[in-house]
Each structure stands twice: as structure tokens, then as C-alpha cells.
A = this chain, B = another copy of it.
Amino acid sequence: MKTRDKIILASLELFNERGERNVTTNHIAAHLAISPGNLYYHFRNKSDIIYEIFLEYEKLVDFYLDIPRDRPLTLDDLTFYLESVFDGLWSYRFFHRDLEYLLDSDPRLRKDYREFTNRCLAAISQIFEKMSEAGIIEPQPEDLRSAMSLNVWLVITNWMAFLKTAHAADEPASLSLTELKQGIYQVLTLEIPYLTAGYREQVMALREKYRPSLPEPAGTSVGTNQSK
């Protein structure tokens, strides 16, 4: 693998594990057993590394959230979208953690992320629209749909932060993909009142799959179930 790609990969790994704030360029170089000079040959600064990682993340999500225009949505589609989005969040989980700081220190990133958000919101809204076309949820007026989409976005992007902060006091860092996907339970909770009679049971069954196993057993967490 090219050194440049190795740097991106190692940075992502370290950022996810320890948080961007706690990972220096020297750490990254040391982790790869290359010199700082080498790292700076490939990237002008830390921001550039982060920006490259963001571009990958963006590409991934844009790929997943490509809504088919030629056919109605199915419940499988919905499941796929939810699973994919949370997979993406997991793989790039450092990103939302320090989002504000990152955007403040890089105008490019700020601009791109803003557009990215808008695309995501549009995609969510579109999914709602196609779900009502498919008879899964009742149709809703435009402005309610966009407010709902925004709430979905807020729940999705904040779910991980909630998990991390609500975790047992003794285990600061632990978090598993399984737990993260309980966010799907929360997202589907938002849709419950809008479900049509015909699909209600099916969606509720889907939601049930993601229900948190126990009400915060405080210590039973999987532990160091990190990325890899």
C-alpha cells in the first residue's frame, strides 16, 4: 500500500480510538514507523489528512444514500439505509466527536460538510416521501416532512455521543457497533405514529430487533470492541 494511503488509514484508526484531539501527527508517524518528515511530505498538515478522510466518508454515505427513482421503496431498502448509515458513523466515528472544532479550523471542510448535511437531509426527506408512496407511512405535508427529517438527522448524528456519555462511569471508551445500531430503534421510534395499518406490525418487528437488550446494566458492556 502507498504510504499516503497508509497514513490516511492509520490516522482514521487512531482518531477513532483516541479522538482526533488526542492524536498528533507525530503519533501517526510513530504508529506507522515512519518519520514525521515523511508524513509531511505526503500531507501539508493535519487538517489535510482529516479532509481526505472526510472525502472518503462523504463518498461512502453518498453512495449508500443513492435513492432509486425508478421503483418504489421496500422495507428492505429502509433497513439497508439505516444499517448503512450507522455502519458509516461507526467507521468514521471520530468525525462527529470533534465536528465543531474541525469545521472551525478548516473552511473547506466547513463548506463541504454543510453541503453534505443538506444532501443527507434531502435524502432522508426523499426516503420519507417514497415510503409514503409505497404505503409504509401516511403521507405528510412538505414542511412536517422536512422537520421530521431534521429530527431523524439529529437523532442519528447524536446517538453515538449519547452512548459514549451515558456509559458506565468506569469504562470511558468502550462502545460496540451493536450498541450503536440501537440508534435504529430510536430512529424507528420517530416513525411509529406515521405507520400505515398495513405495515405497522412489520416495522414494529424490525424495530424490535434493535431494542437495547437491557435497561443499562452498567458494567456488562462489551468493552474494547473497537474498529479493527
Q: Which residues of A contact B (CB under 8 A)?
A: 19, 21, 97-101, 103-104, 107, 110-111, 113-114, 117-118, 144, 147-148, 150-151, 153-155, 157-159, 161-162, 164-169, 172-173, 185-186, 189-190, 192-194
Contact = CB atoms under 8 A, between A and B. Distances in A.
Nearest to A113: B165
Contacts of A97: 100-101
B162 A154 contact: yes
Contact of A107 (B19, B167, B169): B169
B186 A104 contact: no
| Chain multiplicity (copies) | 2
A82 to B, nearest CB: 15
Contact of A21 (B21, B99, B190): B21
B154 A186 contact: yes
Given A103-B164, A144-B189, A151-B189, 10 more contacts: A104-B173, A110-B169, A114-B168, A117-B162, A147-B185, A147-B189, A150-B186, A151-B155, A153-B162, A155-B158
